Amino acid sequence: MKIRFVVLIVLSVVTAIPVLGQKSRARVRQLILSTRHLGAHGMGYNTQSLVQLSKKLTPGDIPVLISLASGNNDVRVGAQFGLASQCGAAIEPLRVAAANSSMFINLSAEDTLQLISEFEGCSPEVREQASAARADIRQMIEDEHARIGQEAKRKADDDARIQANGLKLLDPEQAKTLTREDRLEVYRRSLAAMGIEEGGPMTPEQKKIADRMYRSMVLGEIKTPPN
């Protein structure tokens, strides 16, 4: 009887966890909306909002606030103010979220840390820490932009090289200058352009085409390109 009672309690708690999470998110959202004020551009958030949120929210709300600040919703900016109202408690979670998430979250974290660095409700030490963390995230964003640019350039260079090598295959003399790896790249790119994956499932007709392309492009057995 006691065992059955304990099991029922555990099941009740486990079942309630998602509901509690939903209530927590709804509560935080409602608190955020309650701190909007009328400004030059309509209802929004300001320093008074930060003060109010610092009294209504706790560090325990930070995970929900980060989730709200990272999404495309009507309280995203308000959630940033909510995070900023928590001063030092929000800095490390923001740093971790930025390090492990998308560019969108990085920009949100940078904006929030800017708010912390300017909020007089935070201590001078915390405001300095926020400025330093913001600089770190700004560097992360710049590094990511550089990485994306380099990756795009590398892909463009690869595409141009493979395309040029494909043209060389049409000339018997130039084809002799290509390595086996050069030929394989052209072959694989040609398969992909036809929607065929090397090593993947193929219809009998696709297999026939792939085999002819392999013998022509990689082995050089067929001197004329397939139709």
Same domain, 117 and 226: no
Binning pLDDT at 50, 70 and 90, where does residue 196 land? confident
Same domain, 142 and 205: no
At 45-86, the pLDDT tens digits run 999 999 999 999 999 999 999 989 887 788 999 999 999 999
Cβ–Cβ under 8 Å, residues 178 and 168: yes
Same domain, 135 and 61: yes
Is residue 153 a part of any domain in this protein?
no
Looking at residue 222, what is its pLDDT? 57
Q: How far apart are CA 47 and CA 40, in angstroms?
A: 14
pTM, two decimal places: 0.63
Place of tokens 């560019």: 103
**Backbone angle region of 220, left / alpha / beta, with phi > 0 → left and psi within -120 to 50 → alpha:** left
Tokens of residue 46, six digits: 């300001």
Same domain, 111 and 215: no
Same domain, 129 and 226: no
Question: Looking at the 3D structure of the chain, how many domains does it have?
Answer: 2
Same domain, 20 and 95: yes
Same domain, 187 and 226: yes
Q: Please compute Rg for the chain using Cα positions.
A: 29
Same domain, 91 and 181: no
Nearest CA to 83 among 100, 120, 106, 108? Answer: 108
DSSP letter assigned to residue 198: T
The range of the structural domain enclosing residue 37 comes to 13-148
Same domain, 131 and 22: yes
Domain boundary among 109, 133, 148: 148
3-state secondary structure of 46: coil
Looking at residue 21, what is its pLDDT? 54
Q: How far apart are CA 118 and CA 107, in angstroms?
A: 17
